[in-house]
Structure 1
Amino acid sequence: MLLAIDAGNTNVVFAVHDGIEWRGRWRIATRDDRTSDEYAVWLLALFQHVGLKATDVTRCVIGTVVPAALYDLRRLSRTWFDCEPLVARAPLDWGFEIRVDQPQEVGADRLLNSLAAHTLYRGPLIVIDFGTATTFDVVAEDGAYVGGVIAPGISLSIEALHRAAARLPRIGIGRPQAVIGTSTVPAMQSGIYWGYVGLIEGLVTRIRGEFGAPLKVVATGGLAPLFAEGTTIIEKTDPDITLEGLRLLAERNRAPILSRGALRE
């Protein structure tokens, strides 16, 4: 079985695929000081709930935008699952060209989303990922990654608004029924929700105009369904697109060989 690890700025998602389906998905807050043993104790306890054991895992693939987390995630794979992880990086066989000025600077999550979106939905398309940052990634008809847009994430915007304005409270994210708020909290919720809907619609329209061809729009991330309710520009939501990218990348690339010396690192 394959253990896929998607380490983002906010959460680390672990998932196991048995070759047919995902057997389980679990998330934990990203923390630079979390050790491989801490990950293992937490993860293996969750394995038991779905009838899995550490020995069921034969391959591991890691995608991360948090370099500090990689060391202990590698140790987790080596020590507890006895396999050298495949780490998602630009030099691997992605099955498509990375047509940008600095391919090595593109986040692994953006390439993984592009790989899965093209495989599942075919291009050309835009992948919107509602994460710590809100990213828009453009995939050409042949599957090539051709660039995109990075905007502040919704939670970051809410936190910045609360911190910078002394009288504005911290609010939750929801879809307000009216655009015009009649008190502070509804006004803030409207600004965040409908403001981001406007951001999505505006950027997609401009990307389509610059690209010069129709582009499907696929959204992922925990907030994707919420924002898809507010606009018809999002045609498909897929919460597992990054995990699917990890699975597809592992299929395309040979498993690294675990050396005994690596276990002592």
Structure 2
Amino acid sequence: MIFIAVGNTRTLLAQSNDGLHFQSISAATALHPAHILQQWEQLRPHAEEETFALGGVVPEALQTWRELLPETRLREPDLAVFNQRVPNAYVPGEALGFDRRCCLLAAAQDYPAQSSIIIDMGTAITIDLFADGRFQGGRILPGITMSLHALFLGTALLPDMDLPVPAAALGNSTGAAIQSGVFHLFADALQGAITHFQQMYPDAQVLLTGGDAALWQAQVPNSQHVPDLLLRGFYGWLQA
């Protein structure tokens, strides 16, 4: 089975024999699915009767994938299965994003007796709490690139730029001040959420995933970087 996870910025294609180790590629979601599938086939040509698992957070892109893939060989995750495995009080239930669901499922299946704070450093940053066998709730922040670009678009003179990790405590140019401000904004927000959640659940571990996770692990003390957390949850979601 080929797993297709459509994110806001990047789309993952992956295969696994055990749900723990994945062969995967990442491509821009803006690309047409046919081009993304061609990239995958260059890495690992799929069998003629291969099945596909499809999930994601971009409705238009998901619909294009559905039109491309054979309907008889396409599977999509069942929300009822998620709700059974990860009880929650999210309102409305269908609004909880696919990526958050997958990461919660992975935490539930890998650490069923352990509280977990799941930080997904993607286009948006999500901070979710799995504890007492259920999803307790979470926080959503704008992503780092989104925040930097918003300063550029919303002002006349501020430059567009990337963010070094870590950034200086103080900036002595406009660019350096932006980098310092954005870096410490997120560092403080992440640590503040962790502190708050661990006051409620002192045993909670911190799982860090998403595109910017590797850069930020050193800034999040005692965290585990789990790059395939979403894929592990997606794989488990479709198992009987």
Same structural fold, with TM-score higher than 0.5 when normalized by the shorter chain? yes
Distance 2:142 2:154 in 1: 15
Query: Alpha carbons of 1:146 and 1:249: their partners in 2 closer, same or farther (altered >3 Å)?
Result: same
Question: Is the CA contact 1:114–1:139 (under 8 Å) kept in the aligned structure 2?
Answer: yes
After superposition, the C-alpha distances for 1:2-38 in whole angstroms (9 at most, x for unaligned) are 211111111111112234765531222223xx6xxx4
Q: Give 1:119-198 correspondences, 5 Å limit.
A: 119-122=109-112, 123-142=114-133, 144-176=134-166, 178-198=168-188
Query: Alpha carbons of 1:125 and 1:191: their partners in 2 closer, same or farther (altered >3 Å)?
Result: same
The structural deviation recorded for 1:91 is: 2.1
After superposition, the C-alpha distances for 1:66-100 in whole angstroms (9 at most, x for unaligned) are 11222122233316xx50222x3522355231233
Instruction: Give TM-score, length-normalised by structure 2.
Output: 0.88
Distance 1:160 1:177 in 2: 19
After superposition, the C-alpha distances for 1:146-191 in whole angstroms (9 at most, x for unaligned) are 2111111111101101111222111112124531112222221111
Aligned to 2:205: 216
Aligned to 2:42: 48
For 1:152, the aligned partner's letter is P
Distance 1:39 1:198 in 2: 38
Question: Is the CA contact 2:209–2:228 (under 8 Å) kept in the aligned structure 1?
Answer: yes
Distance 1:66 1:245 in 2: 19
Distance 2:29 2:11 in 1: 6
Distance 1:236 1:27 in 2: 22
Distance 1:184 1:89 in 2: 49
The structural deviation recorded for 1:109 is: 1.1
Is structure 2 residue 49 aligned with structure 1 residue 24?
no
Instruction: Give TM-score, length-normalised by structure 1.
Output: 0.81
Query: Alpha carbons of 1:200 and 1:65: their partners in 2 closer, same or farther (altered >3 Å)?
Result: same
Aligned partner of 2:55 among 32, 44, 63: 63
Q: Rg bigger for which structure?
A: 1
Distance 1:126 1:145 in 2: 10
Question: Is the CA contact 1:44–1:54 (under 8 Å) kept in the aligned structure 2?
Answer: no
Query: Alpha carbons of 1:20 and 1:217: their partners in 2 closer, same or farther (altered >3 Å)?
Result: closer
Unpaired runs of 5+ in structure 1? 253-265
RMSD over aligned Cα atoms: 2.2
Q: Give 1:92-131 correspondences, 5 Å limit.
A: 92-93=81-82, 95-122=85-112, 123-131=114-122
Question: Is the CA contact 2:131–2:201 (under 8 Å) kept in the aligned structure 1?
Answer: no
Unpaired runs of 5+ in structure 2? none
Distance 1:42 1:223 in 2: 22
Query: Alpha carbons of 1:13 and 1:19: their partners in 2 closer, same or farther (altered >3 Å)?
Result: same
How many residues end up aligned between the 2 structures? 238
